[in-house]
């Protein structure tokens, strides 16, 4: 069964939020995984990025970011912030659903279309949910069925023969793969191919 791009984004958010809710009562001021952001800041980055991708897809700028920035309430409790991740994913899913196939919008990693921005949003949610889960002591790997389309769409040079989740984590510099060290620098390829 093939999942639609809008459903991919909302499914990633549902999975990520479900996992992170298990650690909602923990200290979110610690760094998320190997990032220089706290768990709370990483959650805010997720919401900002995912809503930003929707905005880019709607505005279709050729050479810049949009001026709209969405963030989570800094005083809100974690469960309410997690709700914000589901909301941001729904906004992006709606924008992807409404975009005609010819739509292109700027991103520094390549001018992209609806599926490309859906893949970017899904990546942000899955990878950063894992970053936070690591710090909270929650053993979680993003689902392969959500990772596979992201790897295929954004990482055309990804190594074959590995589980999609491990491949996505390798592509984003989170893990090593057999025979392949952990990446120190990386970026996805958003251009439509």
Going from N- to C-terminal start, the domains of the chain cover: 5-171
**Looking up tokens 């060290």, which residue turns up?**
181
pLDDT of residue 3: 76
pLDDT tens-digit readout, 143-161: 999 999 999 999 999 999 9
CB atoms within 10 A of CB 53: 30
C-alpha–C-alpha distance, residues 168 and 174, integer Å: 9
Q: Is the sign of the CA dihedral 77, 12, 183, 190 positive or negative?
A: negative
The pair of structure tokens assigned to 183 is 């990446």
Beta-carbon contacts of 104 under 8 Å, excluding residues fewer than 6 positions away, are 60, 111, 112, 113, 192
Chain centroid offset of residue 138 CA: 18
Contact 79, 107 (CB under 8 A): no
Contact 135, 155 (CB under 8 A): no
Segment holding 5, helix H or strand E: helix 5-21
Chain centroid offset of residue 155 CA: 14
C-alpha–C-alpha distance, residues 50 and 121, integer Å: 5
Q: In this structure, which topology does domain 5-171 adopt according to CATH?
A: 1.20.120
The pair of structure tokens assigned to 54 is 């929707």
pLDDT of residue 193: 86
pLDDT tens-digit readout, 10-64: 999 999 999 999 999 999 999 999 999 999 999 999 999 999 999 999 999 999 9
Classified as helix, coil or strand, 105 is: strand
Classified as helix, coil or strand, 177 is: strand
Burial class (CB in 10 A: 0-12, 13-18, 19+), 59: middle
**Looking up tokens 């924008």, which residue turns up?**
95
Check pLDDT > 60 for residue 1.
no
C-alpha–C-alpha distance, residues 158 and 167, integer Å: 7
**Looking up tokens 């491949």, which residue turns up?**
167
pLDDT tens-digit readout, 96-140: 999 999 999 999 999 999 999 999 999 999 999 999 999 999 999
């Amino acid at each position: 069964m093939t999942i639609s791009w809008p459903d991919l984004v909302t499914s990633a958010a549902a999975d990520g939020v479900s996992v992170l809710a298990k650690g909602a009562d923990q200290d979110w001021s610690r760094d998320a995984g190997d990032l220089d952001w706290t768990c709370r800041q990483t959650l805010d980055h997720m919401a900002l990025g995912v809503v930003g991708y929707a905005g880019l897809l709607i505005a279709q700028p050729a050479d810049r970011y949009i001026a709209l920035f969405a963030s989570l309430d800094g005083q809100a409790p974690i469960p309410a912030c997690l709700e914000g991740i589901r909301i941001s994913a729904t906004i992006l899913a709606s924008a992807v659903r409404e975009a005609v196939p010819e739509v292109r919008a700027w991103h520094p990693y390549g001018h992209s279309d609806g599926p490309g921005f859906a893949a970017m949003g899904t990546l942000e949610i899955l990878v950063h949910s894992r970053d936070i889960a690591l710090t909270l002591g929650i053993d979680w790997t993003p689902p392969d069925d959500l990772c596979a389309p992201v790897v295929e769409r954004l990482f055309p040079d990804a190594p074959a023969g590995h589980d999609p989740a491990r491949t996505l984590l390798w592509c984003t510099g989170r893990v090593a793969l057999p025979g392949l060290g952990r990446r120190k620098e990386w970026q996805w390829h958003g251009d439509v191919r």
